[in-house]
Structure 1
Amino acid sequence: MAEERARWQQQRQALDAGMTSAAEALDKAQTAIKVKDAEMKAQVDAERQLRKRLATLEAEAGATEAGLREAVAGLQSELEEAASRLEAATAAREAADAANER
């Protein structure tokens, strides 16, 4: 009976040690999962911020491009108007020179 009881206690101690070891392993695994989860959330947040910044930059670039196109169109219009005035002034001068020669 004493042998049986000693064996039973040894088995119980081994079982307790195994359960303690399993609980420690479970705690480590849960901690590792929490760490990985936090890392993944941080990566998702960083990606979200980068996507927002990219969208902002694309919008700014689009606005800048539109502004530049508008400025170029305005300058082109002014250039065409100046060329037209120069052409008219040149024609008037040529007419005045021709009238003076007569």
Structure 2
Amino acid sequence: MMKVDETVNRLVPVHSECSDLYSEVVFVWKFYRVIVCEDRLQWILQKFAGQTVHAQDFWVPLGYFTSRRALERVWKQETGNSFPASVLMPIKFNIPGRSG
């Protein structure tokens, strides 16, 4: 699926995890964000990396997580701040069809 970004009048692949228009964003804080991966298997911590030569914003992964505790640990290492208390997330990522 493609979506026109009206700010620069270009096509952007919305499904791309590195896209600024990716739809599965859990939250954003300054230059960091947490998303749900495309296959819905884990959370990904990303950092804003700037723009491509085509003026396309993109994000780079800093880590992949199935537990909130691991995500919080790397979040603190990367940002220097505690994980936002207002973010409602489960302790473990719920992978459909997998128990435990």
Structure whose CA Rg is larger: 1
Q: TM-score w.r.t. structure 2 length?
A: 0.13
Higher helix share: 1
Q: TM-score w.r.t. structure 1 length?
A: 0.13
Higher strand share: 2
